Amino acid sequence: MESFFNKTASFPHFETLQEDVKTDVLIIGGGITGILCAYFLKERGVDCLLVEKDRLCQGVTGNTTAKITAQHGLVYDKLLKDAGLEKTKLYLEANWLAIRKYEELAAQIDCDFAEKTAYVYSIEHPEKLEAEARAYRMLGLEDRIVETPELPFATAGAVRMPNQAQFHPLKFLSALVKDLNIYEQTFVREWKPNRAVTAQGSITYQQVIFATHFPIDNKHGLYFLKLYQHRSYVIALEHAAQLEGMYVSEDRKGLSFRNCGDLLFVGGGSHRTGKKGGNFQELRNFAKQYYPDAEERYAWAAQDCMPLDEAPYIGPYSPAMPGCYVATGFRKWGMTSAMVSAMLLADMVQGIDNPYAAVFDPSRNMFTGQLMINGAQAMMNLLTPTTPRCPHMGCALKWNGAEHSWDCPCHGSRFTQEGRLLDNPANGDSEAAAGKSAADRKP
């Protein structure tokens, strides 16, 4: 199973670190966030180095749907209620600047960049659309609820946001990495203040950016309570509809749509990692019903870090870790959030005040209903006996029959059938999972 993006782009290879080195800024993680951070810091003349445990962009970045938009579901009504008008305006402005920065960079890169209108639709909750339209009005955006004739099923309408975009992220990033200081297959197995240890050498640094999707240090920041992970699925169909817009449901379990050339991407089947969901079968059932003449060409899955509220965590890792920064909790909107992260963190490591810092501050209030859910989920799985355990924090792993993997419901680590690590925050393989036979697996 490999995504359309991974199959249709190639990256230059980089060497593995073989010696002790020094740098001013170390970036851990070679996805879109880490690469954009390295690119902007290099542009500013900052000495920086990026390390990736495997190959660049082979994790979440290569398994996106690559919508570049400030329309993050029905987010603005919620933000106005929780954060107030000033911070909501800053959230919108930061993401709008991210779109325009992509547009500026993509003008010099052949990456299938195309301006699109984004839509959030609802099947049966027009009142949610009306609330979001009111929020748009307060923010100076178009506030009409429109029909959705491009979709093959009835809806209650949609709110729309023009001047958004889509692109091929790996074509885009392969052009940015060529002159950056990068080591691949360089796993940071031990992290210490001002020193990161890998298998073949250590890296001495002054500041560090954790761009590892899920933060790798559990001692500070409480990210193991502030985050959980969510899986979703995509199929790419040939001989299906040609849509002018990009569509996403207001329901987290709903479907999303965008075209890519002659292909239609249909996304959905989502669920908390380690729990049951519709998976690929839900999408294939939908395609069979609404696009019976279509043929599936690609299928892939994505995993997203979900924060306690509506905004990512971008900024200082923890007050107890000076000189350390993090970008995580992108809540399924990784393209714009990665660009916001890079622009914000490039300022922070240089000591430059950024007007958007307070909106994304990782140390903001934690006390939400989701915190209680995360804590209860962790406690329940820690107390579950006689099942394979996750080496991250000891939670019980669950067998994912759709993808043939062992998944952690607490924090989202995933392992192959043999116990090899697929997704962090675990930093090593699961020996317990490797020892389980087929008879031990539960549907």
Alpha helices in 139-195, H assignment, sequence order: 169-176
- pLDDT higher than threshold 90 for residue 42: yes
Q: What angle do CA 304, 307, 311 make, to 5 degrees?
A: 105
Find the length of the chain. Answer: 443
Give the domains, in start order, of the chain with CATH numbers. Answer: 4-64+171-225+310-360 (3.50.50.60), 369-440 (2.102.10.10)
Confirm if 230 and 241 have CB atoms less than 8 A apart.
no
pLDDT of residue 441: 53
pLDDT of residue 435: 62
User: What one-letter code names the amino acid at 118?
Assistant: A
- Indicate the DSSP class of residue 439: G
pLDDT of residue 244: 96
**Inter-axis angle of helices 169-176 and 85-106, nearest 10:** 70
pLDDT of residue 34: 98
What confidence tens digit (pLDDT) does each residue in 146-161 have?
Answer: 999 999 999 999 999 9
Count CA atoms closer than 13 A to 437's CA, side-chain side: 1
Residue whose C-alpha is closest to residue 176's, from 318, 7, 52, 32:
32
pLDDT of residue 26: 98
- pLDDT higher than threshold 70 for residue 436: no
Residue whose C-alpha is closest to residue 72's, from 263, 261, 345, 329:
329
pTM: 0.95
SS3 391: coil
| Lowest-confidence segment of 7-11, 86-90, 259-263 by average pLDDT | 7-11
pLDDT of residue 372: 85
Residue whose C-alpha is closest to residue 70's, from 248, 207, 319:
248
What mean pLDDT comes out for the span 95-120?
Answer: 98
Question: CA torsion sign, 93 to 252 to 106 to 262?
Answer: negative
Torsion, Cα of 380, 383, 389, 394 (10° steps): 90
User: CA-to-CA distance for 182 and 14, rounded, in angstroms?
Assistant: 6
